[in-house]
Amino acid sequence: MARVAIVTGGTRGIGKAVSLALQERGHTVVANYAGNDEKARAFTEETGIAAYKWDVGDHEATLDGCARVSEEVGPIDIVINNAGITRDGVLQRMSFDDWNDVMRINLGGCFNMAKATFAGMRERGWGRIVNIGSINGQAGQYGQVNYAAAKSGIHGFTKALAQEGAKYGVTVNAIAPGYIDTDMVSAVPAPVLEKIVAKIPVGRLGNAYEIARGCAFLCSENAGFVTGSTLSINGGQHMY
């Protein structure tokens, strides 16, 4: 059955791959973005997927944005919380703004999107929320106390909200990607990236579509018995 899906940070990288995967499965997809209007227009022209602009870290803007999507496109039954930023640095050099911006967007965005959509899913008796965590939220990472804390928080958020939604037909799951071949990872200096790849048992970076296929499954009718789960897609780099 076709549903209306929102993918935050949905015009680039993993988000773009998820948007396309859900579109391929017949859903009506809306891609949220925060900054680059030119790239968002190019994305819409290329894919036919509407792009709506707001900052998911802004509570009121998220409520208003989701209300607009519901009115203009239809009730939102699928949410992929993918939007995220990095502000890396060791704690000694990390400013409060570096900490707060990452927490506000990466973790706060999940809360804001859930507040905007969860009640409607519960009333309609069906919903899918997939939160994009990270291997670094599971294992930690030097120079990323903000990012690792936010992503770790996403995993806890997922488990708690899953318990609230289960009896209403709303599943809440997370995906924890490893190192994926995106713009964010390509910005890592080559010598550092080589050391990272050397630690991945499959011997390569992941592909955004490998994450997208995981999202598509968790959003399907076939995943109705999967909730409160974290799917690690990391090439075997972190197992537990």
Nearest CA to 222 among 80, 84, 25, 70? 25
Catalytically annotated residues: 147
- State which amino acid sits at residue 161: L
Return the H-helix or E-strand segment holding 173: strand 170-177
d(CA 99, CA 91): 9
Secondary structure (H, E, C), 144-156: CHHHHHHHHHHHH
In terms of Cα–Cα distance, which of 136, 143, 141 is closest to 234?
Answer: 136
What burial letters (b/e) apply to 91-103, b meaning 16+ CB within 10 Å? eeebeeebbebbb
